[in-house]
Structure 1
């Protein structure tokens, strides 16, 4: 008897009025596997002082990405233009590729899978284990139920050509800035009561801001806004907030920030950040990039109280 494929059987059943006519038919649970082979496995490194990114194209599925932003840790994500996995818990395993039989797999446990474009988004721990597996010649694999049907979707990463790009990634990480834009764009320098002195921690933060602004030409404006608590007279508080703002601005200029980039303002106790007086004695620093709308940027740095 000639062998009949599943697709051929399905077509015949459709002509007969559907599978309902043959309730005894057991449909197989199919698994769709996606991954690059030896002949087409590539890893691409994009490096800068802002972030280091390793991209691996997964044919038929999408791409796998290692990302390390300045001031943060290594992360990993899988993304696909067309979501293929059902939301829920998937299994992540580091297993041997087909050409290394006999090597026992290592389970990294369950991971969350979303139904969106970025199906998997993992933190430093899992990302590090995946990278280690690739460096050992293994094949990290994610398995999850398909979005439609009861089949399984398997996405595996190829270790071919990975180690060379990983060395470039490590060199890139060594040259990253201390912090990224999201971490610095709204910064705060706290002050003790009546004080205008910068601590060593304050100076380190300001140095990080300077390093970023000097490296990113899209930053066009640095706002420095001084504030005080409400203890004492408003005239004295205004003067104190102005002195605090000027101390910060002078430090930024001494480290290389162009004076023309700075906007220095003093608000006294006009825009409290909290009911706690200690949290109101501060200077807020805000970075503005080209194209950002300043009318939605607040001097307080804490709420929508001031948009000047």
Structure 2
């Protein structure tokens, strides 16, 4: 009973924001709870003398990285067309896989400051030991900008002591302002998002919708920025309704209307290979799924053989 009361007091201490180093660390371990004082933890973090943040910027991604001495790297990453994410990276598996705790706490020179608990995180066996999405990443950024220290805690891999990895806010603000400028210049999409794209058509139609035009504009913008893209395969398809001759003509028109739009948007005509297939390569039993033109981008180093139109990824075959 006394143990349960102490456990309940520790959890209330964390959830009500009492100072983290004066409370008890509560970590889920294999369905049970590991209790240890913060003083017993193995702490990893940069000090005033070696706290730096580095920005890697391009139109494809913006990355803020921070060396955590003895542990590895902490990275905020924002890819074109996606949202901000965060991950911890380590060459050595210092944490036991399982459920860790993410908080934003005060540095040692601000005693009594309330700790904000962001929730549990999954600790993996991979090199990227912890990965979180936009909500947690933005909360961590807000904490750093307000002089706080985002901290991940998890049981050590080979014993019961906690491992605590702490991000330093020192020298963070200026690189973060540069990061914000980088984000404002990112492309609207990344390669993975447009590598295989699909334009659907109504029955008997070759008309592009406003959404189709926006997607094609994004493809053209990306191709103009990525010099490794060598060619675009544009493949027109039809359903099986009607004659083969009509469907062949319709699939050719669908492919050509997409190719023409890409050319007008700035893609060199020499990069585009147009093919038409009628109803030869259906992707499902639904006619609407088969009325399509697909666009596949190929980069340097990709298979130089022009691939068949039935070899692709699911509904994006083309």
The TM tier, using the shorter chain, reads 0.7 to 0.9
1:43 Cα deviation after fit: 0.3
Question: What's the Cα RMSD here?
Answer: 1.8
Q: State which of 172, 177, 189 in structure 1 corresponds to 2:187.
A: 177
Cross-structure match for 2:8:
none
Q: Is the 8 A contact 1:284 1:299 kept in 2?
A: no
1:61 Cα deviation after fit: 0.3
Distance 1:65 1:258 in 2: 37
Q: Residue 102 and residue 216 in structure 1: after superposition, are their counterparts in 2 closer, same or farther (change >3 A)? A: same
- Structure number, greater radius of gyration: 1
Cross-structure match for 2:112:
102
Distance 1:36 1:243 in 2: 61
Provide, for residues 117-155 of structure 1, a one-character-per-residue CA deviation record: whole Å limited to 9, x for no partner: 111011111101111100100011111000111111100
Q: Residue 277 and residue 306 in structure 1: after superposition, are their counterparts in 2 closer, same or farther (change >3 A)? A: closer
Q: Is the 8 A contact 2:196 2:316 kept in 1?
A: no
Q: Residue 305 and residue 247 in structure 1: after superposition, are their counterparts in 2 closer, same or farther (change >3 A)? A: closer
1:296 Cα deviation after fit: 8.8
1:70 has 2:80 as partner: yes
Cross-structure match for 1:118:
128
1:205 has 2:215 as partner: yes
Q: State which of 278, 286, 296 in structure 2 corresponds to 1:268.
A: 278
Distance 1:146 1:194 in 2: 63
TM-score normalized with structure 1 length = 0.88
Structure 1 unaligned spans of 5+: 1-27
Cross-structure match for 1:4:
none
Q: Is the 8 A contact 2:86 2:133 kept in 1?
A: yes
Structure 2 unaligned spans of 5+: 1-36
Provide, for residues 192-221 of structure 1, a one-character-per-residue CA deviation record: whole Å limited to 9, x for no partner: 000011111100000000000000000001
Q: How many pairs were matched up?
A: 280
Q: Is the 8 A contact 1:241 1:268 kept in 2?
A: yes
1:256 Cα deviation after fit: 1.1
Q: Is the 8 A contact 1:49 1:177 kept in 2?
A: yes
Provide, for residues 226-252 of structure 1, a one-character-per-residue CA deviation record: whole Å limited to 9, x for no partner: 000000011110110000000000111
